[in-house]
Chains A and B, each alone.
Chain A
């Protein structure tokens, strides 16, 4: 541990790192008006050329549409979508695909789930929270606006959903501070709570408690409203044993001066207490303070010169989600001791994100149109390049909901589904999506270096839900189509397109045909086993 510590310090000294978020001068970056995909490929390819690495080839149509559809719509493509894409000879078809998917209700549903997982994790949330996120995603609300809403929406009788982020953490000041910092600013500074950060010379206890001070007056009322007091300070004990009063300090070291807290006489204090108790009794929220520390945080975090933490954290998270690995990793360690391999790219994207009004959809669109995004995930010859070079794609485990919805589509007789984009489609996909929520019992939420549990494998192997739902012979299920197929090969290709979004190759065809041939005694059962094998293959379990 000590050695790592020294190494970092040495590096920090040698590189002369002082500022926390170092942003290159604007004139050294590519011009702001260049399209995002071009800029991504420019910087990623430059690093590969420098290292004389030839990146993996671009994937074919079948893989492109599966990858993009899973990332944007949160589900596998339907057979009709795959066929239309593969058969189109329009040179612009990838752009059209991306724009079509971004316009589907599926995108907002998926984006909501991604944000819900990021912001709420496994916390139990009120319905209003998920509704808030869905509407925000449908409107493509800017990220800075959402941040402001989550931090600052005023309470009313029906507590606004946006406040869910803080309300679920309001009883734990460390969580409010730590999670806000990790999620919105890309830095986990919890080490600095007990001592100055051992790996990052930039962060002192002053920073931790400084950030904590922005939340220290926030509390939940007895009637379960979020409120903020107008007095109270954070005191902490330094490692030297000295007791210090925390300043209102942002991660950049900027200190906010605030008006004096009101001085109240004993009589006034008593009166105030009674007033608040009365509000609790009437199930009313507490009054908003004259000076809000949380408002001060939002203000400083989005101010020019300070907002790089906010913008870079969002860019890195979106990148991580689409590329399976961040420009900076771990994604909550965006500090000077852990620089990105492509600093200009991160700077350019952050600048673009700010200049275009923190538009998440625009950023997502730009990234999935790059060549770097659509490389193959296969690397056969020689040592696989480091993940942060993006020379070869990373496979990404599906989330429980992505997997649940995709299983449903994969095992469906797709002729019985509403047409994509029609009014009924929204209802249909939202229903599938909702039902997929139950998968979180058996399927873990993806993390870096994710591992599949035996609980999951046992569930797919032996739980009655799998057989009764996905392998059912009912008319709306794929099995009913396969069983009626005279032509085995056509049946196998239909299954493969349904499940894997691609046709089988010759070896696979032989394997399955031989299997079916020895199961003439029970062909329905045999088709069920074939479908099961495809649906439980890692090719289905991952986005690749």
Chain B
């Protein structure tokens, strides 16, 4: 009997009341009463205090792998260092690449981890590892960070999506995976434009028809769910219940609704606009937003590439930090800047840097983080970690702890307990607030 788990689905205990308008007399009026459109934006000021306490994550995913030497771990003066200088930051003793002058003035909000050794320098495998914090087993598909955060920080009945993933560049387009957590936590995926698929009502159906057929469906759905004791059936009904709210959140994806000063601040680039959308989303209560920026895979012309991309990253990330801070959201929002790996310290004959997973960097900003801290150290040539080596597991444990999620918490796959991070994994406590 050891593996037989109790059935906890007390669905009978919270049966949904049958709709009032089922009775003949009540029918016509009840439709009218139910017509208020759920509007996430409208509810914002009301829920502001609650929302502020809710924690969020914005993941800036540097797809293809950014160079640690041109960002967080410069090696000026060394032949591996490249042409760019290191500059001082507003945290004494911490230097970063001169390509990030704006972040240098905001170093007090951010911690740097300079000692990642993740051992996988292949795009697919590396991305999978850094998305999930560990490698899949043949028969266990792990959920990615977004799915776990959606599950831990999202509300089951949320009217906004709880995991949004934006990826519009063609390079290595990755869908994200809820793994064993199931489709409820799969990302709303935006790969073509800034608007999610099927979020707009078709023109050929009126809003009233759309609303009313949803009401009819709900009556049938609730009647059917009664006595079935099935989470699957309940999830069907709750997915449909979320539709109108999600459609109302269409506005969240529309940057043209944002005051011009903010659009100007983030800049007219696609990445800037997506990060602005990310801010709009988390402000409305979305727990996890990933924005992927492609083209970091600089096997040739690494320095031109990084001059352009790091300058943009510096600008957009700084704007985001300022914006969140001004809104009182920074202390509840964790910004993770991460890719699948770093780049080789050695410069190749095409003036490029190749894949490198043995000694690279990432940054964490905001929620739960000790700003200005630096963890780990690489050798003068950048080829290896000399102090504080950590892998994907430690990074994920740190992220969970920063968000107030117990990294040792178990999920159950059948009878098998699966902790959020592999047993024995510890967070980097020195960078946690």
On whether the two chains bind one another, the answer is: yes
Chain A interface residues (CB < 8 Å from chain B): 1, 4, 7-8, 11-12, 172, 174-175, 177-179, 182, 188, 190-191, 199, 329-330, 332-333, 337-339, 341, 377-380, 383-384, 386-388, 392, 394-395, 397, 444, 447-459, 461-464, 467, 507-508, 510-512, 514-515, 518, 525, 529-530, 532-534, 536-539, 541-542, 544
With contacts A8-B2, A458-B197, A462-B201 known, is A514 near B28, CB below 8 A? yes
Contact mask B185-224 → A, CB, 8 Å, 1/0?
A: 0101000000011111110111001101110110111011
| Residue from B223, B227, B231 within 8 A of A380 (CB atoms) | B227
- What's the nearest-Cβ distance from chain B to residue A16, in Å? 14
Does the CB pair B216–A397 fall under 8 Å?
Answer: no
Cα of A383 to Cα of B221 in the assembled complex, Å: 22
Q: Please name all residues of chain B whose beta carbon is closer than 8 Å to the beta carbon of A461 when the two chains form the complex.
A: 198, 210, 214, 240, 243, 247
Does the CB pair A457–B139 fall under 8 Å?
Answer: no
| Residue from A188, A380, A450, A534 within 8 A of B139 (CB atoms) | A188
B18 nearest in chain A by CB position: A507
- What's the nearest-Cβ distance from chain B to residue A165, in Å? 15
Does the CB pair B239–A457 fall under 8 Å?
Answer: yes
Contact mask B1-24 → A, CB, 8 Å, 1/0?
A: 111101101011000000001111
Q: Please name all residues of chain A whose beta carbon is closer than 8 Å to the beta carbon of B221 when the two chains form the complex.
A: 537-538
Does the CB pair B236–A538 fall under 8 Å?
Answer: yes
Does the CB pair B227–A379 fall under 8 Å?
Answer: yes
Cα of A397 to Cα of B183 in the assembled complex, Å: 13
| Residue from A330, A377, A394, A467 within 8 A of B414 (CB atoms) | A330
| Residue from A384, A452, A467, A530 within 8 A of B229 (CB atoms) | A384
Assess whether B47 is interfacial by the CB under 8 Å rule. Answer: no
| Residue from B201, B202, B220 within 8 A of A534 (CB atoms) | B220
Instruction: Please indicate which of the listed interface residues B188, B198, B225 has the most CB atoms of chain A within 10 Å of its own CB.
Output: B198
| Residue from B21, B139, B212, B233 within 8 A of A182 (CB atoms) | B139
Assess whether B58 is interfacial by the CB under 8 Å rule. Answer: no
B212 nearest in chain A by CB position: A529
With contacts A379-B227, A449-B182, A467-B205 known, is A458 near B233, CB below 8 A? no
Q: Please name all residues of chain A whose beta carbon is closer than 8 Å to the beta carbon of B186 when the two chains form the complex.
A: 444, 453, 455
Does the CB pair A533–B217 fall under 8 Å?
Answer: yes
Within 8 A of A (CB), among B226-282: 226-233, 235-237, 239-240, 242-243, 246-247
Q: Please name all residues of chain A whose beta carbon is closer than 8 Å to the beta carbon of B2 when the two chains form the complex.
A: 4, 7-8, 11-12, 337-338
- What's the nearest-Cβ distance from chain A to residue B156, in Å? 11
Cα of A4 to Cα of B423 in the assembled complex, Å: 14
Does the CB pair A518–B28 fall under 8 Å?
Answer: yes
Cα of A348 to Cα of B110 in the assembled complex, Å: 64
Cα of A392 to Cα of B229 in the assembled complex, Å: 10
| Residue from B216, B239, B419 within 8 A of A511 (CB atoms) | B216
Q: Please name all residues of chain A whose beta carbon is closer than 8 Å to the beta carbon of B184 when the two chains form the complex.
A: 451-453
Cα of A165 to Cα of B264 in the assembled complex, Å: 55
Cα of A175 to Cα of B188 in the assembled complex, Å: 29
Q: Please name all residues of chain A whose beta carbon is closer than 8 Å to the beta carbon of B171 when the two chains form the complex.
A: none
| Residue from B205, B209, B410, B414 within 8 A of A1 (CB atoms) | B410
| Residue from A7, A175, A458, A533 within 8 A of B216 (CB atoms) | A533
Does the CB pair A338–B231 fall under 8 Å?
Answer: no
Does the CB pair B12–A384 fall under 8 Å?
Answer: yes
Does the CB pair B243–A378 fall under 8 Å?
Answer: no
